[in-house]
Amino acid sequence: MTTASQPTLREQVEDFLFKEAALLDDWRLDDWVDLFTEDGRYVVPTTDLPDGDPRRDLVFIDDDITRLRARAVRLNSRHAHREYPWSRTRRFISNVRVEETGDGELAVSSNVLVYRFRAGEGAPYVGSVDYILRRDGGAFRIAHRRAVLDLEALSWHGAVSIIF
């Protein structure tokens, strides 16, 4: 039963995704990486193969927690030149769907629009981000985050230099 004081599961997940988006827009990358489980993974397939499997196909990004931490270190340094100085980003998350898969995990899908502005230019990244979330006490942790771009090619940004 839903009451004003008891958010639905979807609202709880949305709150989590909104907080994640704020961390990313604020470039608080270490806090963002802490949202992941130790066996967590972050995957971005190529634009021509949205269902690409990182074990068999070429993808843009396939980070385990070690490489994810290294990615944060890199982006926090002054030597990730595509993001130094950092771009400005603004994320819009919608169409959130949540499914309980048993064993305490949630399969979440969302639509994502990220505007990125830098060096006099601005353009969007558009796509979907699917998660497997694990409950951790009252909070959620990200066990899997798969970000699929709708773009046909990286024609505007030339790279996936931010976290999409």
Partner 1 sequence: MGEIMEIKDLIIDDRQRGVFRVHRSSLTSDELFQREREFIFSRCWIYLGHESEVESPGDYRRRTVAGRPLFFTRGRDGEVRVFLNSCPHRGALICRRDEGNAEVLQCFYHAWSFNMDGDLIGVPDQEAYGPHFDRGELGLREPPRVESYRGFYFVSFNPHVEDLVSYLADAREYLDLIVDQTEAGMRVVRGSNKYTMKANWKLLVENSLDGYHLVPTHQTYLDYISGLGSDDSGQTASARIVGKARALGNGHCVIESPVRSGRPIAHWHPLFGEEAREPIAQVRQELVEKYGEERAFRMADTSRNLIIYPNLVINDIMANTVRYFEPLAPDNMEVTAWHLAPRDESDAMLATRLDSFLTFLGPGGFATPDDVEALESCQIGFRATETEWSDISRGMLRPAKSTDELQMRGFWRQWHANMQGFTHTNVQDGPAVEVEAEAELALASDN
Helix (H) or strand (E) holding 15: helix 9-25
Does residue number 4 form part of the binding site for partner 1 (CB under 8 A)? Answer: no
108: Cα within 13 Å, side-chain hemisphere: 31
- Give the range of 9-17, 92-100, 105-113, 148-156 binding partner 1 by CB under 8 A: 148-156
Ramachandran category for residue 81: left, alpha or beta (phi over 0 → left; psi -120 to 50 → alpha): alpha
CA 4 from chain center: how many Å? 29
Does residue number 160 form part of the binding site for partner 1 (CB under 8 A)? Answer: yes
Does residue number 82 form part of the binding site for partner 1 (CB under 8 A)? Answer: yes
* Contact letters for partner 1, residues 27-46 (x by CB under 8 A): -----------------xxx
Based on CB atoms, which residue is closest to partner 1, 19 or 54?
Answer: 54
- Around Cβ 58, how many Cβ atoms within 10 Å? 11
Q: Which of 7, 26, 77, 97 binds partner 1 (CB under 8 A)?
A: 77
- Shortest Å distance, C-beta 69 to partner 1: 10
Q: Which of 12, 47, 89, 110 binds partner 1 (CB under 8 A)?
A: 47
- Give the range of 4-12, 78-86, 89-97, 108-116 binding partner 1 by CB under 8 A: 78-86
* Contact letters for partner 1, residues 92-131 (x by CB under 8 A): ---------------------------x------------
Return d(Cα 53, Cα 45) in angstroms, integer.
8
Helix (H) or strand (E) holding 38: strand 36-45
- Shortest Å distance, C-beta 3 to partner 1: 43
Does residue number 6 form part of the binding site for partner 1 (CB under 8 A)? Answer: no
Return d(Cα 50, Cα 42) in angstroms, integer.
14
Neighbour-count burial for 17-39, b at 16+ CB within 10 Å, e otherwise: beebbebbeebebeebbebbeee
